[in-house]
Structure 1
Amino acid sequence: MTTYRAADSKREEFRKYLEQSGVVDALTKVLVNLYEEPEKPSQALEFLRQHLGAAGPETADVESLRLEVSELRGKVSQLTDENAELKSRLEKYEPSEEATE
């Protein structure tokens, strides 16, 4: 009998935790939205993921952003190298003031 009460107590603690953290409200809102949908989606679980924000960005969006980041990193590297080269060329023709003093 004590095992039953301990399990019941843990269940009640968990329920309170879910309520306090806003999980119950978020789930309720999403389920109400699903209920109020005029045309029920064929993938109810996907609907829940999208509306809870668990799905994250679309895979195509993520892939395009990764490609863009890769290209931009290459461009930064190229510009850094070019900047260093131009600084060394400039030093040949115009020595810095520190070197002349």
Structure 2
Amino acid sequence: MAHYKAADSKREQFRRYLEKAGVLDTLTKVLVALYEEPEKPNNALDFLKHHLGASGPDTPDVETMRLELAELKQKYELILEENRELKGKLAEYEPSPEEKHPE
């Protein structure tokens, strides 16, 4: 009998943990959305994954985005360097503050 109560206590602790973390609420909402779906999807598990955000982006899309990000970072660094060079050149041709407003 003591073994039964220990298992029941662990279940109750786990249930409280899920409730506190918001898991039960989120699962309930997704299951209600599936229940209220007028045309049930062929694959209920895919529906759940999609609505829970577990499916994630496709791998080829992620790789394409990583390559694009690396390329954009490289372009950004080049533009920053060009900006520094142009500011330096501009500073050479601009009159100093004392020359602008003689007193």
CA–CA distance in structure 2, aligned partners of residues 39 and 63 of structure 1: 34
Partner of 2:34: 34
Query: Which one-letter code corresponds to 2:18 in the other structure?
Result: L
Report how far residue 55 of structure 1 moved: 2.2
Partner of 2:70: 70
Query: Which one-letter code corresponds to 1:35 in the other structure?
Result: Y
Alignment of 1:1-101 (within 5 A): 1-56=1-56, 58-59=57-58, 60-79=60-79
Partner of 1:93: none
Q: Which moved more, 1:64-73 or 1:78-87?
A: 78-87
**TM-score between the two structures when normalised by the length of structure 2:** 0.67
User: What's the C-alpha RMSD, in Å, of the aligned pairs?
Assistant: 2.8
**TM-score between the two structures when normalised by the length of structure 1:** 0.68
Query: Which one-letter code corresponds to 2:28 in the other structure?
Result: T
CA–CA distance in structure 1, aligned partners of residues 38 and 63 of structure 2: 33
CA–CA distance in structure 2, aligned partners of residues 36 and 84 of structure 1: 59
The number of equivalent residue pairs is 96
Query: What fraction of aligned residue pairs are identical, expressed as a percent?
Result: 62
CA–CA distance in structure 2, aligned partners of residues 44 and 67 of structure 1: 34
Of the two structures, which has the highest relative contact order with CA contacts closer than 8 Å and spacing of 6 or more? Answer: 1
Report how far residue 88 of structure 1 moved: 9.5
Report how far residue 67 of structure 1 moved: 2.3
